[in-house]
Structure 1
């Protein structure tokens, strides 16, 4: 195993979404390390139902990227003037801040430049309505992102491609009954820094014994 460049708790505290990604290739041996960390993630009953599709082919990325942009435009692009209004609260308590909006917009238009995409897949999940469907996938995705952090690689779990799920599945050669559980572009950060994501104070969201019972953090 490679020597981690950050400690575990530091990594947990300072792994924000990174959306400005350089096109610099990720060495194959590093990519294998990241994927190996991902599959060590939690899996209910150790069933390990997932599959992981690694996409590096520029042609495949170029074919999927327009679907991603379309999904972005439908969700947030149409709200650009509203979310970038200079009179708007720069740090809203919910929703995208102006700086985050710009980062998400940048990724939407440059996602194909990220050197690696990792697509977590669940076979047999295409028609599922189980609220717990991602329980044995998303912890593994976070493992992937934390391992990337240790190697100085950034990424984010995103899903704007889902507006064209069937076309994406065909491009990736997935079984008809499979579902993509997201898309994780990975790359060395081109700008920004490793910092604590802005979050509500932990005391506001933690309840003790019963809902509504809160206390101040010592």
Structure 2
């Protein structure tokens, strides 16, 4: 597979959540997904436990069922009043961006089951989820999921970080035969993308979020 000649800074700043631009009609070779996941396994993990597991869903029926759960969760999210498009309405520029994000998220919610590959990142949680701050657990999965997304971007694949399926985690676990002591952390739809341009997103200036020594 030919890897796009992206410098590290470009790769890191232009790996965007791809929703409307996912090509729902073009198959994604399993070998390519495996290549991206193999790279993701080089991510750091607490205590070198490597407790991650990856469910790659390509079956049409399973994708449709997961997509139905995701769509149901998305509709509840929009009805909650906390969806992205309802934030920052007092800021014309940022509000417009939020509405675009919300619109693309709604599109993905309608088509999640049509995406050719769904990758669910999981982590072993023997004894259940720990009480209190769970950063130590999820910090052993989420960097690897991001590495997968970066590897996919370099290979012409689009992805999006999603978690709304977790409202139906137990139902999806039963559907896919995921053991009770393995918890899902992220659902990454994966497909070739349409178009060929990505650019850095508008973000808050660093000085608005940077704290040196004290808050």
* TM-based fold match above 0.5: yes
Q: Name the SS for the 2:39 alignment partner.
A: helix
Q: What's 2:75 paired with?
A: 73
- The question of 1:183 aligning with 2:193 is answered no
Q: Structure 2 matches for 1:1-218, cutoff 5 A?
A: 3-20=3-20, 21-23=22-24, 24-77=26-79, 79=81, 83=85, 89-92=91-94, 97-124=98-125, 126-129=128-131, 130-132=133-135, 133-190=137-194, 193-211=197-215
Q: Tell me which moved more, 130-139 or 190-199.
A: 190-199
Cα deviation code 1:35-66 (max 9, x no counterpart): 01111111122110111110111110111111
RMSD (Å), alpha carbons: 2.7
Q: How many residues align?
A: 209
Question: Structure 1 residues 82 and 135 mapped into 2: Cα distance closer, same or farther (>3 Å)?
Answer: closer
Structure 2 gaps of 5+ residues are none
Task: Output the CA distance in 2 between the equivalents of 1:80 and 1:44.
Answer: 33
- Normalising by structure 2, we get a TM-score of 0.87
Task: Output the CA distance in 2 between the equivalents of 1:12 and 1:2.
Answer: 19
Cα deviation code 1:53-98 (max 9, x no counterpart): 101111101111111111111112565999479x8645337x9711
Cα deviation code 1:95-117 (max 9, x no counterpart): 97111111000000001111111
Q: Name the SS for the 2:16 alignment partner.
A: coil
Contact 1:22 1:113 in 2 (8 A): no
Task: Output the CA distance in 1 between the equivalents of 2:83 and 2:167.
Answer: 23
Task: Output the CA distance in 2 between the equivalents of 1:27 and 1:194.
Answer: 23
Cα deviation code 1:97-143 (max 9, x no counterpart): 11111100000000111111110111226443342121111111110
Question: Structure 1 residues 78 and 96 mapped into 2: Cα distance closer, same or farther (>3 Å)?
Answer: farther
Question: Structure 1 residues 82 and 194 mapped into 2: Cα distance closer, same or farther (>3 Å)?
Answer: closer
Task: Output the CA distance in 1 between the equivalents of 2:102 and 2:62.
Answer: 26
Task: Output the CA distance in 1 between the equivalents of 2:161 and 2:84.
Answer: 24
